[in-house]
Amino acid sequence: MKARERVRHVLVDADACPRTVLDILRRLREEYGYRLVTVASFNHDIDGADHIMVGDGPDEADLALLNRTRRGDIVVTQDWGLAALVLSRGAFALSPRGHEYKGERIEFLLDERYKKAKARLAGLRTRGPARRTAEDDVRFERTLRRLFEQEGISGQKT
């Protein structure tokens, strides 16, 4: 990205976001002053004034989130396809495990997703994600703080 804008919003694909990640985001919101927007289907119980509830269609949360994403925002998602679309809008994409999605890596991930889908259609079993650990939460917070610093947004001690 050439001329980056300051991060105004952190948007969360909350359908599959771990509670610990939401807790970290709420805590850091006080320090960094961003607007935290969660998007999830009505099947999920998410608290917050800036929660957007959508239907339970397969891509409803993704589309609602993408429609609200602007250059410089941070989007937290496990969905590689959504991450690719977010990057194309000039926003940052971050996994709940603390991995920043970037252009050069997203193509590989999308290719992997395609290969695994083909394998499942052929009746093969594919591995799911590894079990979540406390290290994932530490990495998530560290990566989020780095993104803010990289964008020139410093935390205010409260």
- Provide the residue range defining the domain that includes 40: 9-150
Q: What is the pLDDT of residues 120-146, one digit of tens each?
A: 778 888 777 788 999 999 999 999 999
Residue 157 forms part of a structural domain = no
CATH number at residue 79: 3.40.50
Q: What is the pLDDT of residues 68-123, one digit of tens each?
A: 999 999 999 999 889 999 999 999 999 999 999 988 787 766 677 667 778 777 88
Domains identified in the chain, total number: 1
**37 beta partners:** 11
In this prediction, what percent of the chain has a pLDDT beyond 90? Answer: 51
Alpha helices in the chain (DSSP H): 19-32, 60-68, 80-88, 103-121, 134-150
3-class secondary-structure state, position 69:
coil
> 116 CB contacts (<8 Å, ≥6 apart)?
126
Given a cut of 50, is residue 3 above it in pLDDT? no
State pTM to two decimals. 0.82
How much of the chain is helix, strand and coil, in % rounded to 5?
45, 15, 40
